[in-house]
C-alpha cells in the first residue's frame, strides 16, 4: 500500500494512503504540547459562521468524546456560554456557564460543565458542520 507524508508540528510521519473517489476525510485529533491541533485542517478548509462560540471536547459517560460549540455572550468582564437542549417532550432547556480565562488573549478558557468536570477550549467563530459523505475504497 502506498504511503503519504503527514506533517504534525515539525515531525513527518508516513501513513498509508487512502483513496476515495468522493472525499478524503481525516478525523485524527492530535494533542501536542498542550495545544489542540486538528489534523483535518491540513486537508480541509473549514467554513465558519459569523457566530462566536466556546468550542471544546468533552468525554461522555460511555467513554466516547463529544464536540461542543456553545454560543457565547459578553456580560461586562464575564463571558457566558449557553447550551440549549430539547427534551423528548419538545421542551427547550437552557444552561448558562461562566467561562474561566486560561489565556484570554489567545481565546483559551475553561468551563465547568453539567457533568461536574472542567474542560478547556477556545472562543472562536462557529465551524459549520456538514453531513459526512461515505465513500468506498
- How does pLDDT run across 17-74, given as a tens digit for each residue? 443 323 333 333 333 334 445 555 566 677 888 999 999 999 998 999 998 999 999 9
Q: Are 127 and 47 in contact (CB under 8 A)?
A: yes
- This prediction has a pTM of 0.61
The pLDDT value recorded for residue 21 is 29
Q: With left for phi above 0 and alpha for psi between -120 and 50, is residue 33 left, alpha or beta? A: left
- Rounded distance between C-alpha atoms, residue 125 and residue 58, angstroms: 19
Indicate the pairing of strand 3-8 with strand 11-16. antiparallel
Residue for grid cell 476525510: 25
Secondary structure letter of residue 129 according to DSSP: P
For residue 112 the three cell numbers come to: 465547568
**pLDDT tens across 78-101, in order?**
999 999 988 787 878 899 999 999
The DSSP bridge partners found for residue 80 are: 73, 98
Amino acid at each position: 500500500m502506498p504511503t503519504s507524508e503527514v506533517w504534525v508540528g515539525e515531525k513527518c510521519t508516513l501513513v498509508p494512503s487512502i483513496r476515495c473517489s468522493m472525499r478524503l476525510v481525516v478525523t485524527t485529533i492530535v494533542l501536542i504540547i498542550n495545544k489542540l491541533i486538528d489534523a483535518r485542517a491540513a486537508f480541509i478548509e473549514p467554513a465558519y459562521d459569523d457566530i462566536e462560540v466556546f468550542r471544546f471536547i468533552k468525554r461522555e459517560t460511555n467513554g466516547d468524546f463529544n464536540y461542543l460549540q456553545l454560543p457565547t455572550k459578553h456580560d461586562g468582564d464575564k463571558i457566558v456560554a449557553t447550551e440549549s437542549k430539547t427534551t423528548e417532550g419538545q421542551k427547550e432547556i437552557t444552561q448558562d456557564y461562566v467561562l474561566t480565562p486560561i489565556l484570554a488573549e489567545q481565546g483559551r478558557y475553561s468551563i465547568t460543565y453539567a457533568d461536574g468536570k472542567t474542560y478547556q477550549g477556545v472562543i472562536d467563530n462557529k465551524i459549520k458542520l456538514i453531513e459526512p459523505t461515505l465513500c468506498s475504497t
